[in-house]
């Protein structure tokens, strides 16, 4: 069974550009969430999607957005990139139900120059 | 708001020895889940062990076990017979059991403990 798949794995963008990251959850998982990991702030929750609806959102500016498709695949978008957006972006998926384990992908490394 | 604290930024253990990583958390909720995740240099987060707050029995997974003290809000991870492959960042995480507005609940992470294993 394939795990959580994230693309692209590595990318470099220039300040002011936008970026879109993609995530395919484990088959059968309908809940997808995104996390940002930086050396300074650690792991921070971005947002969560379930049944194509954003269910929960972390404390990030409106430049960070996401969506989920009917096949549970998810994308996140960051517009007007800033140097501070350089981070590892982790996607995670789980079965529905708060007690289920959250499984992570290998992440997308974003560097903003 | 819930918080998770890992007070040991770095730990070191000799191969085959036992090491304990500390984690404390703060919450006003009575029902929740606690996790330890391992993040090796590949950066993929791997679940090590999970604990349901309503279960008094401490979780165990092979060489990994936890000491869950609900009243003290403490959740430490013990690694027995440490192996070179155990070297990684270890994150303690909290997840509410409440379903707020249809949310499945996000993870709240501590800052992590970097574990080194000496041969």
Using alpha carbons, select from A90, A96, A92 the residue that is nearest to residue A109: A90
**Which pLDDT does position B5 carry in this prediction?**
97
CB-closest option in A43, A50, A58 to B104: A50
How close does chain B come to A14, measured CA to CA in Å?
A: 24
**Per-residue pLDDT tens digits for A35-55:** 999 998 999 999 999 989 998
Give the largest CA-CA distance in chain A.
40
Using alpha carbons, select from B104, B107, B89, B32 the residue that is nearest to residue A35: B107
**Per-residue pLDDT tens digits for B44-85:** 899 999 999 988 889 988 999 999 999 999 999 999 999 999
Contacts with B109 from chain A: Cβ below 8 Å: 42-43
**Per-residue pLDDT tens digits for B13-36:** 999 999 999 999 999 998 899 999
Using alpha carbons, select from B43, B36, B107 the residue that is nearest to residue A105: B43
CB distance B103–A56 less than 8 Å?
yes
* Cα B94 to Cα B52: distance, rounded to the nearest angstrom: 10
CB-closest option in A42, A98, A106 to B104: A98
């Amino acid at each position: 069974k394939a795990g959580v798949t994230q693309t692209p794995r590595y990318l470099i963008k220039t300040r002011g550009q936008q970026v879109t990251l993609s995530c395919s959850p484990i088959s059968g998982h309908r809940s997808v969430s995104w996390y940002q990991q930086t050396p300074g702030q650690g792991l921070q929750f971005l947002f969560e999607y379930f049944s194509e609806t954003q269910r929960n959102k972390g404390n990030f500016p409106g430049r960070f957005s996401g969506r989920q498709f009917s096949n549970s695949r998810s994308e996140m978008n960051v517009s007007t990139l800033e140097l501070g957006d350089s981070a590892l972006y982790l996607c995670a998926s789980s079965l529905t139900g708060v007690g289920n384990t959250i499984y992570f992908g290998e992440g997308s490394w974003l560097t903003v120059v | 708001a819930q918080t998770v604290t890992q007070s040991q930024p770095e730990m070191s253990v000799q191969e085959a020895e036992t090491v304990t990583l500390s984690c404390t958390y703060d919450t006003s909720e009575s029902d929740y889940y606690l996790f330890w995740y391992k993040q090796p240099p590949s950066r993929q987060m791997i679940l090590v062990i999970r604990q349901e707050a309503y279960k008094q029995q401490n979780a165990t997974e092979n060489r990994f076990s936890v000491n869950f003290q609900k009243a003290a809000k403490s959740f430490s991870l013990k690694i027995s017979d440490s192996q070179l492959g155990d070297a990684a960042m270890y994150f303690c995480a909290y997840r509410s059991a409440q379903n707020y507005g249809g949310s499945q609940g996000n993870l709240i992470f501590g800052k992590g403990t970097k574990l080194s294993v000496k041969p």
